[in-house]
Amino acid sequence: MSKEPREEMIAVGGTRVHTLIGGEGAPLVVLHGAGGNRGWRRWMARLADHFTIYAPTHPGFGASDAANWMEGIEDLARFYLWFVDTVGLERAHVLGHSIGGWTAAEMAVSAPRVIDRLVLVAPVGLKPERGEILDVFYHSPAELTRLTVHDPKSIPEWEDLYGQTPTPAQAEIAIRNREMAARLTWRPYMHNPRLSHFLPRASMPTLVIWGREDRIVPVVCGEQYCRLLPRATLRVLDGCGHLPPIERPDAFAALVADFLATPSTASRSQR
């Protein structure tokens, strides 16, 4: 079948979320970061040969409905557990990046039986033992892009993603995304002080992926996640910043595909 996705507006409790759906095979729910849903990307096309990808845009982001009633990432996690029910998935793999990774972790501790395998990509959610999470709301969009990626020249989709001046409509969406991200993550900033106590409940196999040159969220947070999650493995990609799916799409897709296809074992952190 074609790997080109279809678009749907899926209503979850009256809140509609714009969702890309494509591929074939076991379901894989993909949760984006604070920058918003970047669309159907190269790494997704690689995985669509073996998985049916559901990539919703968070409420309050992009073309999805507003959700001013949400006060934090825990609300977003409960929303996505409802989303999984709404689209008829009994169990699914879940992959989340940055605030999407934090959301996926909150889902995993709330309803571990719903998630088959978990992939966390440079997730926030834990307060770093060393260093700090960058204040992304302090920097302009251009500054933030420079801080987020390690080497623009190495990014295959750079021109498509960042090479054009945003249209007024795109600029408006970026502001909307930023406002909703702040609503969900500001107090306390980018972490849940209670999450560490619940992570041992998430007993599903978990892959944690980080870029070694991440200047947004320090790699030490990946080590913390792996100490707390019972069956987690950490993989750190060299020459990569905060966006492994965009900066290293082929290596990233290969890691994820291998992990999702591997029989369950009680693995631990690897550097």
Q: Which pLDDT belongs to residue 266? A: 39
- Asked whether residue 269 is assigned to any structural domain, the reply reads no
- Asked whether residue 240 is assigned to any structural domain, the reply reads yes
**For residue 75, what is the domain's CATH number?**
3.40.50.1820
Q: Which pLDDT belongs to residue 3? A: 67
Examine the pLDDT at 15 and tell me if it is beyond 90.
yes
- Asked whether residue 271 is assigned to any structural domain, the reply reads no
Based on the structure, what is the number of domains in the chain?
1
Range of the domain at 146: 6-261
Q: What is the mean pLDDT of the chain?
A: 95
- Asked whether residue 268 is assigned to any structural domain, the reply reads no
- pLDDT band (50, 70, 90) for residue 4: confident
Q: What is the pLDDT of residues 127-145, one digit of tens each?
A: 999 999 999 999 999 999 9
Segment 33-58 mean pLDDT: 97
- Asked whether residue 101 is assigned to any structural domain, the reply reads yes
The Cβ-side half-sphere exposure at 243, using a 13 Å CA radius, reads 27
Examine the pLDDT at 270 and tell me if it is beyond 60.
no
Q: What is the pLDDT of residues 89-102, one digit of tens each?
A: 999 999 999 999 99
- Asked whether residue 270 is assigned to any structural domain, the reply reads no
pTM reported for the whole predicted model: 0.95
Examine the pLDDT at 37 and tell me if it is beyond 50.
yes
What would the two tokens of residue 252 be? 């990233």
Examine the pLDDT at 264 and tell me if it is beyond 60.
no
Q: Which pLDDT belongs to residue 1? A: 40
Segment 20-32 mean pLDDT: 98
Q: Which pLDDT belongs to residue 203? A: 97
- Asked whether residue 267 is assigned to any structural domain, the reply reads no
Segment 230-250 mean pLDDT: 98
